[in-house]
Amino acid sequence: MSIKTIGKRISIAEHSDATTIVIDSKIPASQQIALETWFGGWIGLGGLIGYGAFSSDGEERNVLLVCMVFWSYFFVRILKVILWRRIGKEIVRVNSKNFLVKNVFKKRGKDRFYELKTLGEFKAVKRDNSSFLASLDQSFWIFGGDNIHFNYLGKTHVLGKQLKESDALQLCNYLNKSVAKYSKKK
């Protein structure tokens, strides 16, 4: 087994019967601290809204309960990002039978399998650096920002969360070569 790397976040292991790629989701410690401090503030805000909702009456209570619903939604979203940044990674595996993509939290995640014969070409997404939404999608507090797209049975699928453009291009080339190599082994 040989191990290669692309950038700081991507490691590639070549096995005799498959290629496994791991994309780490860790961020610098300063960003992790900022994210978790923000989460702490969010919990404090939720405590204040909850206290207000249960100590008030009538219309004010209804408004605060609606606020708690929105607060809860974003609480779950922020918690998911924190867990992703601490213990998450993307696993990609190519063998002669199929192509696997999995977003893993520690060891848990949903396997998504794709047959090699109907798998489209991997392409790196070009980001418009002047676009506010494009830069927001690449922010460390977002769970998303997939930089590699491929077609499968007429639908676009994604992987490579918040990769640098150069890393995404190199990984696309590697994935295209790996799929071609394992497609021939059938």
Which pLDDT tens digits describe the chain residue by residue (186 residues)?
678 889 889 999 998 889 999 999 998 999 999 999 999 999 999 999 999 999 998 899 999 999 999 999 999 999 999 999 999 999 999 998 889 999 999 888 999 999 988 888 999 988 777 777 777 777 778 877 788 999 998 899 999 888 888 999 999 999 999 998 888 765
- 82: nearest Cα among 145, 133, 160, 27: 27
Please give the model's pTM, rounded to 2 decimal places: 0.84
What is the reported pLDDT for 130?
76
What is the reported pLDDT for 182?
84
Q: What is the token pair recorded at 5? A: 């790397």
What is the reported pLDDT for 41?
96
Kindly write down the DSSP assignment for every residue of 117-129, as one continuous string.
Answer: GGB---EEPPP-T
Q: What is the token pair recorded at 183? A: 């497609």
- Find out whether 80 and 142 touch, Cβ atoms under 8 Å: no
